[in-house]
Structure 1
Amino acid sequence: MFLAKNKTLLEAFKRGERSALEEVYRHYAPGVTSFLRKGFTFRSGKGQFFVKGILDPSDLKSAVQEVFRRAFEA
Protein backbone atom coordinates (compact mmCIF):
# COMPACT_ATOMS: atom_id res chain seq x y z
CA MET A 1 0.00 0.00 0.00
CA PHE A 2 2.84 2.37 0.80
CA LEU A 3 4.01 2.55 -2.81
CA ALA A 4 0.51 2.39 -4.29
CA LYS A 5 -0.50 5.51 -2.37
CA ASN A 6 2.52 7.55 -3.45
CA LYS A 7 2.64 7.68 -7.26
CA THR A 8 5.71 9.93 -7.31
CA LEU A 9 7.66 7.51 -5.14
CA LEU A 10 6.40 4.55 -7.17
CA GLU A 11 7.62 6.07 -10.43
CA ALA A 12 10.99 6.94 -8.88
CA PHE A 13 11.23 3.38 -7.54
CA LYS A 14 10.50 1.95 -11.00
CA ARG A 15 13.29 4.12 -12.44
CA GLY A 16 15.66 2.79 -9.79
CA GLU A 17 16.34 6.17 -8.18
CA ARG A 18 18.54 5.70 -5.15
CA SER A 19 16.51 7.97 -2.87
CA ALA A 20 13.32 6.04 -3.68
CA LEU A 21 15.01 2.69 -3.06
CA GLU A 22 16.30 3.97 0.28
CA GLU A 23 12.83 5.19 1.29
CA VAL A 24 11.23 1.87 0.35
CA TYR A 25 13.93 0.00 2.27
CA ARG A 26 13.45 2.15 5.39
CA HIS A 27 9.70 1.63 5.24
CA TYR A 28 9.66 -2.14 4.66
CA ALA A 29 12.87 -3.39 6.31
CA PRO A 30 11.47 -3.55 9.88
CA GLY A 31 8.50 -5.68 8.76
CA VAL A 32 10.62 -7.96 6.60
CA THR A 33 13.09 -8.39 9.46
CA SER A 34 10.32 -9.27 11.90
CA PHE A 35 8.73 -11.71 9.45
CA LEU A 36 12.02 -13.52 8.86
CA ARG A 37 12.92 -13.54 12.57
CA LYS A 38 9.59 -14.99 13.74
CA GLY A 39 9.09 -17.48 10.94
CA PHE A 40 5.84 -18.11 9.13
CA THR A 41 3.23 -20.71 8.25
CA PHE A 42 1.96 -21.41 4.75
CA ARG A 43 -0.32 -23.88 3.01
CA SER A 44 0.69 -25.88 -0.03
CA GLY A 45 -1.50 -28.53 -1.53
CA LYS A 46 -3.13 -30.38 1.34
CA GLY A 47 -0.51 -29.52 3.90
CA GLN A 48 0.33 -26.65 6.21
CA PHE A 49 3.99 -25.93 6.82
CA PHE A 50 6.00 -23.78 9.22
CA VAL A 51 9.28 -22.13 8.26
CA LYS A 52 11.43 -21.49 11.32
CA GLY A 53 12.60 -17.98 11.94
CA ILE A 54 16.20 -16.87 11.51
CA LEU A 55 17.71 -16.26 14.93
CA ASP A 56 21.37 -15.62 14.13
CA PRO A 57 21.77 -11.83 13.67
CA SER A 58 24.29 -12.22 10.84
CA ASP A 59 22.11 -14.71 8.97
CA LEU A 60 19.06 -12.50 9.50
CA LYS A 61 20.85 -9.45 8.12
CA SER A 62 21.98 -11.45 5.08
CA ALA A 63 18.45 -12.74 4.46
CA VAL A 64 16.94 -9.24 4.67
CA GLN A 65 19.57 -7.92 2.27
CA GLU A 66 18.80 -10.76 -0.14
CA VAL A 67 15.07 -10.00 -0.06
CA PHE A 68 15.70 -6.38 -1.01
CA ARG A 69 18.39 -7.22 -3.56
CA ARG A 70 15.91 -9.41 -5.39
CA ALA A 71 13.10 -6.88 -5.07
CA PHE A 72 15.25 -4.03 -6.36
CA GLU A 73 16.61 -6.05 -9.29
CA ALA A 74 13.16 -7.22 -10.42
Structure 2
Amino acid sequence: MAFDFDEAGDFGSEHDAREWAERNNIDLADLHIRNRGDRGVTLSVRRSALGDSARSDLTYGRRTGFFS
Protein backbone atom coordinates (compact mmCIF):
# COMPACT_ATOMS: atom_id res chain seq x y z
CA MET A 1 0.00 0.00 0.00
CA ALA A 2 1.38 3.39 -0.95
CA PHE A 3 0.83 6.49 1.13
CA ASP A 4 0.96 10.13 0.10
CA PHE A 5 3.29 12.33 2.10
CA ASP A 6 3.48 16.12 2.36
CA GLU A 7 6.86 17.68 2.99
CA ALA A 8 7.04 19.53 6.31
CA GLY A 9 10.51 21.00 5.92
CA ASP A 10 14.19 20.61 6.59
CA PHE A 11 15.69 20.08 10.03
CA GLY A 12 19.22 19.98 11.37
CA SER A 13 18.88 16.42 12.60
CA GLU A 14 16.47 13.49 12.82
CA HIS A 15 16.11 14.24 16.52
CA ASP A 16 14.94 17.81 15.75
CA ALA A 17 12.42 16.52 13.20
CA ARG A 18 11.00 13.96 15.64
CA GLU A 19 10.71 16.57 18.40
CA TRP A 20 8.79 18.87 16.04
CA ALA A 21 6.42 16.01 15.17
CA GLU A 22 5.88 15.16 18.84
CA ARG A 23 5.11 18.81 19.68
CA ASN A 24 2.49 18.76 16.93
CA ASN A 25 0.94 15.46 18.07
CA ILE A 26 1.99 13.60 14.93
CA ASP A 27 2.56 9.89 15.43
CA LEU A 28 6.16 8.96 14.67
CA ALA A 29 4.84 6.10 12.49
CA ASP A 30 3.40 8.75 10.14
CA LEU A 31 6.80 10.30 9.41
CA HIS A 32 9.18 9.82 6.52
CA ILE A 33 12.63 11.22 7.28
CA ARG A 34 15.12 11.53 4.44
CA ASN A 35 18.77 11.97 5.41
CA ARG A 36 20.51 14.72 3.45
CA GLY A 37 23.99 13.99 4.75
CA ASP A 38 25.71 16.95 6.37
CA ARG A 39 22.75 19.18 5.42
CA GLY A 40 20.41 17.54 7.96
CA VAL A 41 17.14 15.79 7.13
CA THR A 42 13.93 16.45 5.24
CA LEU A 43 10.71 15.53 7.06
CA SER A 44 7.52 14.43 5.33
CA VAL A 45 4.25 13.56 7.06
CA ARG A 46 1.68 11.04 5.87
CA ARG A 47 -1.18 13.09 4.45
CA SER A 48 -3.87 10.87 6.01
CA ALA A 49 -2.40 11.56 9.47
CA LEU A 50 -3.02 15.28 9.10
CA GLY A 51 -6.80 15.06 8.77
CA ASP A 52 -9.17 17.35 6.91
CA SER A 53 -8.29 20.44 8.91
CA ALA A 54 -4.60 20.37 7.99
CA ARG A 55 -3.14 23.26 6.10
CA SER A 56 -2.14 22.50 2.55
CA ASP A 57 1.15 24.28 3.28
CA LEU A 58 2.94 22.37 6.02
CA THR A 59 5.79 24.87 6.00
CA TYR A 60 3.43 27.16 7.94
CA GLY A 61 3.64 24.74 10.85
CA ARG A 62 7.39 24.50 10.42
CA ARG A 63 7.80 28.29 10.58
CA THR A 64 5.50 28.79 13.55
CA GLY A 65 6.22 25.54 15.40
CA PHE A 66 2.64 24.26 15.41
CA PHE A 67 -0.41 23.56 13.29
CA SER A 68 -3.46 25.66 13.94
Q: Same fold (TM over 0.5)?
A: no
Task: Give the TM-score normalised by the residue count of structure 1.
Answer: 0.25
Structure number with greater CO (CA < 8 Å, separation at least 6) is 2
Larger helix proportion of the pair: 1
Task: Tell me which structure has the larger Cα radius of gyration.
Answer: 1
Return the structure number with greater strand share. 2
Report the TM-score, using the length of structure 2 for normalisation: 0.27
